[in-house]
Structure 1
Amino acid sequence: MLSLSMSQASEQALTAMEIMVKVDARDEGDTSVADSAMVLIDKRGRKRTRQLKQYSKKYPVGTKYMAIFLTPADLKDTVYINYDWDTSERDDDSWLYLPALQKNKRIAADDRSGSFLGSDFSYADLSGFELAWYDYELLSESEVVNGHDCWLIEYRAKDKYRDKVTASTQDLKTQTWIRKDNFVQVKSKIWKVRAGRIKYYSASDIEKIDGVWTVKKMQMITVKNGKKEHASILKIHNVNYNSFLSDELFKSENMQRAALIN
């Protein structure tokens, strides 16, 4: 009983910044390979499904990520690569390979707020989170989300990074709910620069796979002036961690070749 009380006291003693550091440091495996589906839902409830394969690999200087679209036919063999550098002073590097044009398109830092291939997820949503760009405030030490005790944290861009955050994310502020048992972000409310627009993120179907806490379903909903515009769901059907992945796979000059491996 004493150890439980001490554990709870230790949890409550964490600052908002300390919590977010633990979120950022959460084990996601040295490598991962996932079979996934992205479902796009319009305001009338109509759905379009896209199948894709996702790869990631950690390096001493950051994490490299690649997504290859398998279906539908008009997106087949489209490849997206992102280098999420650990330093906040270096912008991420991203490329999109479009098979119809047979060439790579580099995504500029101020284009990352754009929709990721028509979904409610932006390139910025997929490219990682820069801890040093924001100030954090602990709004609540205990809120229950789907039966799990969570911290509620709000964060906004620091003055010195405000222009960079606005250009790359179009976010004004974010409130996020963090599970205390595993430091997974299970819910977020994101106020956008465009007046009246808010995005709602949720994570569910969370389980431990190969020792890694894995979110198998992510949803992003876009709301304008209180009305739902559209939504996107990303589901992971199968994932493997810590298998060998060649460095060649993540080179931007190999994107056309990468599309052929599936």
Structure 2
Amino acid sequence: MTRAILYVGHGTRSKKGAEEAKEFLGRVIARVDAPIQEISFLELTEPYIPEGFGRCVAKGATEITVVPIFLLTAGHIKEDIPEALETLRVKYPDVSVEVAPAFGVQERIVDAISELVKTSIGKVDPVDSVLVVGRGSSDPAIHGAFAEIKAGLEERLGVSRVSVCYLAATTPLFAEGIESISFEADGRVLVVPYLLFAGLLLSEVEREVRKRNRAGQDIVLIEPLSRHGAIQDIVVERASGKEDVRVATVDH
């Protein structure tokens, strides 16, 4: 049996975001002991899943572990990736396929966010507020996941308020979220994009933060999550079949 790893990112129309994702996965590949490793994307960025899968097979893969580079389990994980793989299972019936889970809500991801915040601003003041900005999904489970993330950040950062908003598909949307928290904040507003990489969605957040800072507000945009080493570690573990025991959901 010859094992291959197929990494599946979301994809983006942003050239910067696509390059950032590929560079990140290049660093992961360098750490994973597997004879065949290929990168693919669900949409918007090439190569797509069928091409990446085909490359694995062409190199002799007889079993493929698909590693989704997705933070939370929603429609892409539950529907889109399985649909794409089902066609490939039919096309390549002699190749066994396993799919690793999305990252989920993990203690160390919330720890990583807390560390990114503290690296960006130094000491967190209790009067500061945090706005967590998710990509958004029509899957109702997303709200439960972000409730856990919110509670974990409240505990770790000790700020007066943590709010959640989304960039698409569900409410409250980002425009409402940042307006509300900016109006009520006594200290700084720390905007935490719950996104892995740069891209058009993050650019939208960046523009709004710059606009509000020019207007005299004190808003700090925290870096996307892939800038923290814990995210790379999680992907390496998924690809290596050695998931860390700390995959339990946030304990609060």
Alignment TM-score > 0.5, same fold? no
Higher relative contact order (CA 8 A, sep 6+): 2
Q: Which has the higher helix share?
A: 2
Q: Which has the higher strand share?
A: 1
**Could you tell me the TM-score, scaled by structure 1's length?**
0.28
**Could you tell me the TM-score, scaled by structure 2's length?**
0.28
